[in-house]
Amino acid sequence: GESVGLHLPTLSVQEGDNSIINCAYSNSASDYFIWYKQESGKGPQFIIDIRSNMDKRQGQRVTVLLNKTVKHLSLQIAATQPGDSAVYFCAEIRNQGGKLIFGQGTELSVKP
Amino acid sequence: GAVVSQHPSWVICKSGTSVKIECRSLDFQATTMFWYRQFPKQSLMLMATSNEGSKATYEQGVEKDKFLINHASLTLSTLTVTSAHPEDSSFYICSARESGTSGTQYFGPGTRLTVL
CATH number at residue A58: 2.60.40.10
Write down the pLDDT at residue A7. 45
Mark yes or no for CB contact B103/A46 under 8 Å: no
Write down the pLDDT at residue A23. 93
Domain region containing A37:
5-111
Write down the pLDDT at residue A6. 42
More confident residue, B100 or B33: B33
Chosen for mutation from A2, A48, A100 (greatest number of chain B CBs closer than 10 Å) is A100
Mark yes or no for CB contact B93/A43 under 8 Å: yes
> With helix as H, strand as E and coil as C, how does chain A read?
CCCEECCCCEEEEECCCCEEEEEEECCCCCCEEEEEEECCCCCCEEEEEEECCCCEEECCCEEEEEECCCCEEEEEECCCCHHHCEEEEEEEECCCCCCEEECCCEEEEEEC
pLDDT of B102 higher than 90: no
pLDDT of B104 higher than 80: no
Q: Tell whether the torsion through CA atoms of A80, A84, A106 and A89 is positive or negative.
A: negative
Measure B78 CA to nearest chain A CA, in Å: 17
CA A80 to chain CA centroid, Å, is: 15
Mark yes or no for CB contact A102/B43 under 8 Å: yes
Q: Is A23:A74 a contact under the CB 8 Å cutoff?
A: yes
What is the chain A residue with the closest CA to B100?
A97
Write down the pLDDT at residue B1. 66
Mark yes or no for CB contact A100/B105 under 8 Å: yes
Question: Which amino acid, one-letter code, is at A87?
Answer: V
Counting as low any pLDDT under 50, the low residues of chain A are: 1-3, 6-8
The C-alpha angle with vertex B57 and arms to B105 and B36, in degrees rounded to 5, equals: 45
Number of CB atoms found within 10 A of residue A59's CB: 12
Can you tell me the distance from the alpha carbon of A93 to that of A91, in angstroms, rounded to the nearest whole number? 7
Using the Cβ of A46 and the Cβ atoms of chain B, whether some distance falls under 8 Å is answered with yes
Mark yes or no for CB contact B34/A99 under 8 Å: yes
Can you tell me the distance from the alpha carbon of A8 to that of A61, in angstroms, rounded to the nearest whole number? 21
Can you tell me the distance from the alpha carbon of B100 to that of B74, in angstroms, rounded to the nearest whole number? 12
What is the chain A residue with the closest CA to B6?
A43
Measure B102 CA to nearest chain A CA, in Å: 4
Mark yes or no for CB contact A96/B103 under 8 Å: yes
CB < 8 Å to B43, chain A: 89, 102-105
Beta strands in chain B (DSSP E): 4-7, 10-13, 19-25, 32-38, 45-51, 57-58, 67-73, 76-81, 90-97, 105-107, 111-115
Cβ-based contacts under 8 A for chains A and B: 46
Mean pLDDT for B47-73 is: 92
What whole-number percentage of chain A has pLDDT above 90? 73
pLDDT of B26 higher than 70: yes
How far the first Cα of chain B sits from its last, in Å, is 37
| Total number of domains constituting chain A | 1
Can you tell me the distance from the alpha carbon of B34 to that of B7, in angstroms, rounded to the nearest whole number? 15
